[in-house]
Amino acid sequence: MEFALSADQRMLQDSLRRALERACPLDRVRTAADAQQPMDREVWRTLCEVGVPALLVPEAFGGLGLSLLDAALAAEELGRHVAPVPFLGSAVLAPIALREAGSAAQQDEWLPRLAAGECIAGVAIAEAVAGARDGAGVTTSGGKLDGSALFVLDAGAADVFIVADRAGGLHLVRADAQGLTRGALRSIDATRPLGELHFSQVNAEPLPNAGPATLARLRSAAWTLLAADTLGAGDAMLGQAVAYAKERRQFGRVIGSFQAVKHLCAEMAAALEPGRALVWYAAHAFDALPDEAALLAAHAKSHLSETGTFVARTATEVHGGMGITDLLGLHYWFKRIGFNRQVLGGPERVRHLAAEMQGLVAA
Same domain, 249 and 187: no
118-159 pLDDT, tens digit each: 999 999 999 998 887 777 899 999 889 999 999 999 998 899
> Position 141: which residue type?
S
pLDDT of residue 251: 85
Please give the DSSP secondary-structure letter assigned to residue 211: S
- This prediction's pTM: 0.96
Task: Please identify, among 70, 97, 116, the residue that sits at the C-terminal boundary of a domain.
Answer: 116
Q: What does the alpha-carbon distance between residue 293 and residue 219 come to, in Å, rounded to a whole number?
A: 10
**Of 91-95, 212-216, 357-361, minimum mean pLDDT range:** 357-361
Contact 319/328 with Cβ under 8 angstroms?
A: yes
Identify how many contiguous H helices and E strands the chain contains and give both numbers: 12, 10
Cα separation values, 175 from 194, 256, 330, Å: 15, 52, 35
Helix/strand/coil for 198:
strand
Handedness of CA 236, 242, 246, 250 (dihedral sign): positive
Q: Evaluate whether residue 173 is within a structural domain.
A: yes
Residue 57 domain boundaries:
7-116
Residue 38 above 70 pLDDT?
A: no
| Judgement on whether residues 141 and 164 belong to the same structural domain of the protein | yes
Mean pLDDT of 35-59: 91
330 and 300 part of one domain: yes
Identify whether the C-beta of residue 108 lies closer than 8 Å to the C-beta of residue 45. no
CATH number (domain holding residue 36): 1.10.540.10
Query: Where a domain ends, among 154, 171, 206?
Result: 206
Q: Read off the pLDDT of each residue in 240-256 and give the average, rounded to a whole number.
A: 87
Within a domain: 201: yes
Q: Tell me which H or E stretch contains 173.
A: strand 170-174
Looking at the fold, whether 107 and 234 belong to one and the same domain comes out as no
Contact (CB, 8 A) for 240 and 315:
yes
CA pseudo-torsion sign 197, 203, 208, 211? positive
Residues 233 and 345 grouped into a single domain:
yes
Transcribe 252-318 into DSSP letters. TEEGGGSHHHHHHHHHHHHHHHHHHHHHHHHHHHHHH-HHHHHHHHHHHHHHHHHHHHHHHHHHHHH
> What percentage of the chain carries pLDDT values higher than 90?
82
Query: What is the tens place of the pLDDT at every residue in 159-169?
Result: 999 999 999 99
Q: Give the model confidence (pLDDT) of 12-34 as tens digits.
A: 999 999 999 999 999 999 999 98
Residue 1 has pLDDT above 60, yes or no: no
Domain boundary among 149, 183, 206: 206
Q: Say whether pLDDT at 218 is over 90.
A: yes
Are residue 253 and residue 353 in the same domain, yes or no? yes
Residue 171 φ/ψ, nearest 5 degrees: -135, 145
Alpha-carbon distance of 278 to 284, in angstroms, equals: 10
Do the beta carbons of residue 232 and residue 76 sit within 8 Å? yes
Specify the pLDDT at position 132: 73
Do 226 and 163 have their domain in common?
no
Residue 2 pLDDT class (50, 70, 90 cuts): low
Are residues 223 and 91 part of one domain? no
- Per-residue pLDDT at 269 exceeds 70: yes
| H or E stretch covering 171 | strand 170-174
Are β-strands 121-124 and 160-164 bridged in parallel, bridged antiparallel, or unpaired? parallel
